[in-house]
Amino acid sequence: MASGSLLALLDDIATLLDDISVMSKVATQKTAGVLGDDLAVNAEQVSGVRAAREIPVVLAVAKGSMINKVIIVPLILALSFFLPWLITPLLVAGGLFLCYEGAEKVWHKLAHPHDKDHSQAKALIADSKADLRKLEEKKIKGAIRTDFILSLEIIVIALSTMSDYPFAKQAVALAFVAFAMTILVYGLVAAIVKLDDLGLYLAKGKALAARVGQFLLWLAPMIMKLLTIVGTIAMFLVGGGILTHSAEAVVDVDHLMQAISTGLAWLDAVVPTLVNGVIGLFCGALLVAAHGLLAPLWSGKGAAS
């Protein structure tokens, strides 16, 4: 009797693990695009830190990201059960925030074209009294804030692939996806930001190792520059994508895409992404303009009071 119960328990556990594996695989496939954007954005966010502080900063952001997941997973599960209609407004708010962040970066670059380096080293050279700890904390907080929005999008997309499974299995699978996602993204971020150190170490070797090291030293800054661009574009794509998908309740997005179809399969596959980017850029520009107009009014009221 006891052995039969044990075998039944093991069978249930095996079935549960199999279901979670299938759910996690599907969820990962569905969120792969956003995960790529998440990697680009976070690698760009933690760039420009002193070499000795790169790994501590990545670990601090990873810790903040894990805390984000601890908040987001139960929150989304609770909302999907009790208040499913509230998920879309939350996503829209997050999408608008990403659009604003991206547009603000673009505007800062256009308004200050010669301000090319925002790293801690540049700040220290410019001002010997610069508080590097505060600069570092500001960068960490900004990265964690952006991670929250991207994680929210990923968790919601992942949950949407699990609607046919019981609530308990959804909770376990989401927790697994959130944990694995954090380890994967920030493991890759750490590898990217330390690529130049690996190159420097190999460059001190002989023959092939030295050549590989020199190549990595050339490649590392190129990757960081590319990620700066890709990370900003990703904000528009993810933010615009959230807004586009959220608008499906009032706008027939599929019909709109068909209306602008070119008849070329490869181009039609790219059009939705371009539309998301344009919408993200447009909304972000509006928000930056609105902030520029309203900020003096708010500061004036604060001064008056």
Domain-located, residue 15: yes
Domain-located, residue 119: yes
Domain-located, residue 1: no
Q: Which domain holds residue 67?
A: 7-304
Pairwise CA distance, residues 154 & 150, whole Å: 6
Q: How many domains does the chain have?
A: 1
Q: What pTM did the predictor assign? A: 0.73
Residues belonging to the chain: 305
Domain-located, residue 35: yes
Domain-located, residue 2: no
Query: Do 164 and 59 touch, CB atoms closer than 8 A?
Result: no
Give alpha helix (H) positions in 83-166: 87-111, 120-126, 132-160
Instruction: Give the contacts of 147 (CB within 8 A, at least 6 positions apart).
Output: 38, 42, 61, 64, 65, 68
Domain-located, residue 126: yes
Domain-located, residue 69: yes
Domain-located, residue 43: yes
Please report, in tens digits, the pLDDT of each residue of the chain (305 residues total): 445 454 454 444 455 455 556 565 555 555 555 566 667 676 766 666 777 778 888 899 999 999 999 999 999 999 988 988 888 888 888 889 889 988 998 998 888 776 654 444 455 445 544 567 777 888 888 889 888 888 888 888 788 778 777 888 888 888 888 888 889 888 888 888 888 888 888 888 888 888 889 998 898 888 878 877 888 888 898 888 888 888 765 565 566 666 666 666 666 677 888 888 999 999 999 999 998 888 777 765 554 54
- 10 Å CB burial of residue 63 (0-12, 13-18, 19+) is middle
